[in-house]
Structures are given as structure tokens and as C-alpha cells.
Structure 1
């Protein structure tokens, strides 16, 4: 089924599936930390925004529950109250979203480099790399300045624009084919609409800190619902894609 021919009901299903995939990709934590009930134990490399994505509780709510003030500094071993499960679009909780897990396509079966043309969605230092660990970062976080341009990493059709998914702030998702979707989170201003076709390199948003503890872009490439490492497929930063 082509993106341009999606009817209303399939589009709703696709939207719920995509949001659920993001939740599963960043929820739960089994590697070296205690996430029991509504309390999470901070481990090395954690930030408040990362905990927000894993637990589905907004950064603002985490800060309020734990009396954490800007710049939202947390320490290894610190107990963070998460406020329990959140709602997905007001209907499903993070614990009941049943979708294809991030491990559905093993790394050995990831698409070859160069199969598709990608460009950097913005410029800046990668402050959090991709991780295959349970509860790890299923994309890359790129630091920048507020208002900095965010670009479409490839040509495609916008399938989601909104902020219903806690932990991602103002989020844009672009479908590039039946196999590929990219996600752009924590934006300030959103410059595209649902159903809009975009070109590679088109400005789609401005960078912000919505549901994050600092200005950044969280960027994902998903192949058949599996989050794959963007750094493996993006060209060297600062260079144009060779396609």
C-alpha cells in the first residue's frame, strides 16, 4: 500500500503503530539499573530527557516530582520518581503497546550502507549515540542552538506531526518508503503538516528542547520498524550525500 493512497482508518492504524514502536524502542531498562514501579535508579550516561523517553513521563513532570531545578543535573545512583505509566494518545499505556520490538531485524540483516540517500538532519555534536542495549538510545541526540534548522534526512511523506508522545516533545515522523521512517524529536517550531510531501534537505522544523533537558534533536532511522544506527548510514558530517 502506497503512502499516498492511505485511507483514514489505515492512517490511524499506522500512526498508532509508529508511536507504539517509538515507545517500545525507548521504554524499559534491563541493563544495570533498577526500574521498578514508579522509581528509576540513575545509571551512567543518563539524562532527564533519556529517562523521560524510557518511562513516558515528561521532563517537566520528572523535574516537578523530584524537585530538580534547571539545568536538571542528576547523579548516578539517584532515585527518580517517574509517576507511573503514561497514556498513549489517551488510550493505551506504555506497558500495553504491542508492536514489533526494536530487535525484530537483527543487526546482521540491516540494509547495506548506500542503499538509500540520507543527509544530516542538522549540524552539531552527537551528545548521545545509538545503543543496542535494552532501554538504550534508539537514535542519536545532536546538540545545537534554539531555532537552528532541522532538515528532512530524505524525501518522503509526513505521517505524524504533534506532541502526544511524552518524552519526545514536538515530534515529526516521515515515511520514505514501505521500509523506512525517520523521526525528529524535541523540536521548537514545526514547519510541516500531516500528509505533506517533503524533499531531502527541506527545512521541516527548528531545534528546541521540548520534553528535553537541553536544546537537541533526537533523530531516528527505522528500517521495517527496527531502529538502526543513523551514524552507520549518514555521510560524514558537513559533507553532502553522494547520491
Structure 2
């Protein structure tokens, strides 16, 4: 593995993991209606993800991808018919429970009482501007913060790490950058105008990675997430005061 790059296999694994973690619990999944499931075939409905279908049908994400020749970033379409290996009993019991909660809460979810202490890592603001939509723990609430700004203004890495996703294949996020920080953290930067980094690239804290835009959004803004062990945590709890450099 060369400096600043991931090997092909390692990179694909990292991308797949990053996308699954972002989709699991993302605020963009607003539909709680289960898709049509009969025997060994599942028909995709609006708001579905492979993770959600996996939980409903008892078929692992890896197996769903293999059976249906789906590669990262695991994009599926409404109306698409997927082969599954789960049982009708599994799907039925999933429907009786809160399918939205089951679908968007990964098994490794970290309760708020166990979130990492403030100051454990040194985060900086990814851009300047007013927070127009804060983080919310409500079901279907915003799993990050939305920051208003001007088209083209810099978006920077909130911490040092490795870029694990650059693209626009995730519906509702527009031009998206995801950075992995060690084993426990991933940050996400959505709705960008331009993307200035590549997959596998090492970045420093404060390094420019994109410019602000409105891709996948109604107006110019940055949607920013910090995820700890798959769980979206409140960025404002860990960022320094607006306009201030981190003290750590």
C-alpha cells in the first residue's frame, strides 16, 4: 500500500462500510412503508436501502449485493426486484415492529449516554456560516447540521483522515465527500458545488476538500455529519464556538 492510498480491495471495503454507515440512520430516509416482499423476491420501495432490506428479509447486505450483482455504492431503484434469501416469517415480524426504527438503527448504535467525551478529538468547523438546521435525536430528525453560506465558499476537512467516498450516487446528498478518521469516526460533507479531493487521499485538518453549493438541496448549504462507531452524533457538541479555532 503506497503512502496516501488504499489498495483496491481495502478501498472498496472502506467505501462500502462508509456508505452503509451513512445510510443507516440518515435523515433522508423518510419512508417507513415496507417494500413488497414475496418468497425470494423483494420489490424496492421509496426510501429503501440495502441495509433496510437486509433487516426486513433476513438476508445480509453482502448476500443481497452478491445475489443481485450490486457493487458499491450499492445504489438501488424504486420498483427494482431483488433476490433475497430470507424467510417470510422474518419479514412479517419486522413489519410488526417499528420498521423505520429497525431500518435506520444499526446494531452497533451508540446511546447518547455513551457518546465520546468532548475534547477526545480535535474537530474544526468545516465551513463558516449560520447553522440553519441543528442536529436532532427525533425519529427521522436531522442527523447532522446544515450550515448556510455562499456558493463557492471553501469546505474544509474537520479533522485529518482518509477520503473514503467522493461522488453523487447517494440520493439526497448531492456531491458528497466522506472522510474516515481512525477506526471510530467518519465525517460527511454534502450538497457541494465542486469536489476537490480523490478517493483514498490523505487530508489534513483544515484542508480544502470542496466548495459549497446546492447539489441535492433546495438552497446553498453544507450538510455536515460526525459519526462515531456508525452513530450520528451532534457536531455542535464537539466543534469549537463558531469562528473559533479548536483549543485542543
Q: Give the alignment's TM-score, normalised by structure 2.
A: 0.69
Partner of 2:11: 11
Q: Is the 8 A contact 2:11 2:200 kept in 1?
A: no
- Return the offset for 1:227: 0.6
Q: Does residue 107 of the first structure (1) align with residue 112 of the second (2)?
A: yes
Cα distance in 2 between the residues matched to 1:103 and 1:94 = 27
Aligned residues: 192
Alpha carbons of 1:128 and 1:99: their partners in 2 closer, same or farther (altered >3 Å)?
closer
Distance 1:17 1:214 in 2: 29
Shift of 1:132: 1.1
Q: Secondary structure at the match of 2:226?
A: strand
Gaps of 5+ in 1: 39-53, 57-86
Higher Cα Rg, which structure: 2
Aligned partner of 2:142 in structure 1 is 137
- Pick closer, same or farther for the CA change 1:178–1:4 going to 2, 3 Å: farther
Matched-pair contact (CA < 8 Å) for 2:25–2:105: no
Q: 1:37-73: per-residue Cα shift (whole Å, max 9, x none)?
A: 79xxxxxxxxxxxxxxx948xxxxxxxxxxxxxxxxx
Q: Distance in 2 between matches of 1:218 and 1:4?
A: 26
2:211 aligned with 1:192: no
Q: Give 3-state SS (helix, strand or coil) of 1:15's partner.
A: helix
Label 1:188 to 1:172 Cα distance change in 2 as closer, same or farther (>3 A): same
The alpha-carbon deviation at position 89 of structure 1 amounts to 5.2
Q: 1:103 to 1:144 in 2, by over 3 A?
A: farther
Among candidates 111, 114, 121, match of residue 116 of structure 1 = 121
Question: Which is worse superposed, 129-138 or 113-122?
Answer: 129-138
Alignment of 1:74-223 (within 5 A): 91-93=74-76, 101=106, 104-223=109-228
Unaligned runs of 5+ in 2: 36-45, 49-69, 83-102
Write out per-residue CA displacement over residues 88-137 of structure 1, whole angstroms, 9 at most, x where no aligned residue.
Answer: 857554899x8862871111110000000010000111111111122111
Which runs of 4 or more aligned residues in structure 1 lie more than 4 Å from their structure 2 counterparts after TM superposition?
3-6, 34-38, 87-92
- Give the aligned partner of residue 41 of structure 1: none
How far apart, CA to CA, are the structure 2 residues paired with 1:92 and 1:170?
15
CA distance in 2, matches of 1:131, 1:181: 18
